[in-house]
Amino acid sequence: MSAVILKALFIFPGEYHLVGPEEPIEAQVGSNVVLPCLVKPPVNLRDGTVEWMFDSSKTVHLFRNEGDDRESQDKSYKDRTYLNHAMLELGDISLKLSNITKNDEGIYSCLVQRLPDLSEERHVTLIVVDGKENENPEGHSGGPEPGVIVGLVVAALIILAFIIYCAVRRHRGEQIFPCWNNKSQKEQRRNYGDHRGNGNQGDGAEERPLQDLEQPNQNVRIIHHDLKSLHFCHY
């Protein structure tokens, strides 16, 4: 089977090519990102050489002799790269880069060397954002959250329904809240009755001192009447 593939590759030179994103990849500081790169049509690259480079000068990750070559890797990328060996059999040579820093921003090159007709390079641009650059000075996002929008719409519909209800009842000459008005009238009558009751008690309280003041005069009249009786009996 491998002999057939070799023959086909040599008969159709230039058939395989690398595919990557046309637009830059964006990632935040401290996050992980995958730099996509594929071979089309898919071909097994387990016996080939795959190299990722940064700025055409630093070796980010090197795969050769069916294993990762950590000795050739730049120290700034140590323990931060991952190449899925199982996906190499499908022509997927995408590289995962962990714990992104601001210094990781730039152009990455994906190189593949397998057979004479498959020696190609593809560039992937990485843009690193701080995470605070997309926030406004107050620390809020640019637009309202969906829940806030739904709440505002519901509140507006309730207010509109209330206005229509009041307008219809007023047009008919009806009270807007008849039960509330009846309750208010009952309270007014009850308060009025309590006021009258308290007023009578107050009048009685004010009359008692007057009665007490008049009481000595009544006693004087009684005594005077008794004296007259006694005088009449004497004659």
What is the tens place of the pLDDT at every residue in 197-213? 555 554 544 445 444 44
pLDDT number for residue 107: 96
Enter the CATH code of domain 2-129: 2.60.40.10
Instruction: Give me the residue spans of the domains in the chain.
Output: 2-129, 145-203
Distance in angstroms between the alpha carbons of the first and the last residue of the chain: 168
Threshold 0.75, pTM exceeds: no
pLDDT number for residue 199: 52
Other CB atoms within a 10 A radius of the CB of residue 205 amount to 9
pLDDT number for residue 35: 96
Task: Tell me the longest C-alpha to C-alpha distance in the chain.
Answer: 172
pLDDT number for residue 8: 29
pLDDT number for residue 83: 95
Query: Which neighbouring-strand residues pair with 205?
Result: none
Low-confidence ranges of the chain (pLDDT < 70): 1-14, 114-119, 131-144, 175-235
